[in-house]
């Protein structure tokens, strides 16, 4: 039995919410743990490790709901690259700004990466019979 369009829409929304949540949590964790005075290379490595830990925890919690692919693949990219980018951004700025600003950037980054992974997945799979209207 196939999924309905409503169920597909819920899964799509869930993917984007999960990506935004991983991005927000990664940005907040990096901001909380790393100091702006830290060396940029060290901060990027630590940010990557923090992002990977955040991604693992959140993706393991979200996998039963969204499926392993939809939680783990975007989450790993968001956590690893987001952690590096957020750490680099925080160490480069003299005034890193507010936590809410960092979380907003994390959400946007997570949504963009999720969209990229979904587009890539669609390009690889091509159109399926359920995608073609009859």
* pLDDT tens digit sequence for 20-54: 999 999 999 999 999 888 999 999 999 999 999 99
The pLDDT tens digits for 54-107 are: 999 999 999 998 888 888 999 999 999 999 999 999 898 877 678 899 999 999
Take residue 1 and report the two structure tokens written for it: 């039995």
Confidence of residue 134 (pLDDT cuts 50, 70, 90): very low
The residue ranking higher by pLDDT, 24 or 125, is: 24
Domain of 59 in residue numbering reads as 5-123
Cβ proximity of 85 and 109 under 8 Å: yes
128 assigned to some structural domain: no
130 assigned to some structural domain: no
Instruction: Note the pLDDT of residue 70.
Output: 85
Q: 12 CB contacts (<8 Å, ≥6 apart)?
A: 118
Which of these, 102, 115, 110, lies nearest to 82 by C-alpha position? Answer: 110
21 assigned to some structural domain: yes
Number of domains in the chain: 1
134 assigned to some structural domain: no
52 assigned to some structural domain: yes
129 assigned to some structural domain: no
């Amino acid at each position: 039995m196939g999924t309905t369009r409503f169920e597909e829409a819920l899964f799509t929304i869930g993917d984007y919410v999960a990506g935004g949540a991983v991005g927000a949590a990664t940005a907040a964790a990096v901001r909380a743990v790393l100091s702006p005075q830290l060396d940029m290379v060290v901060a990027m490595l630590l940010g990557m490790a923090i992002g990977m830990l955040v991604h693992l925890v959140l993706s393991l919690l979200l996998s039963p709901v969204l499926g392993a692919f939809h939680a783990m693949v975007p989450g790993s990219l968001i956590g690893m690259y987001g952690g590096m980018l957020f750490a680099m951004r925080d160490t480069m700025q003299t005034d890193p700004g507010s936590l809410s600003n960092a979380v907003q950037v994390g959400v946007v980054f997570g949504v963009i990466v999720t969209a990229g992974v979904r587009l890539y997945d669609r390009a690889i799979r091509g159109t399926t019979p359920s995608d073609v209207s009859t």
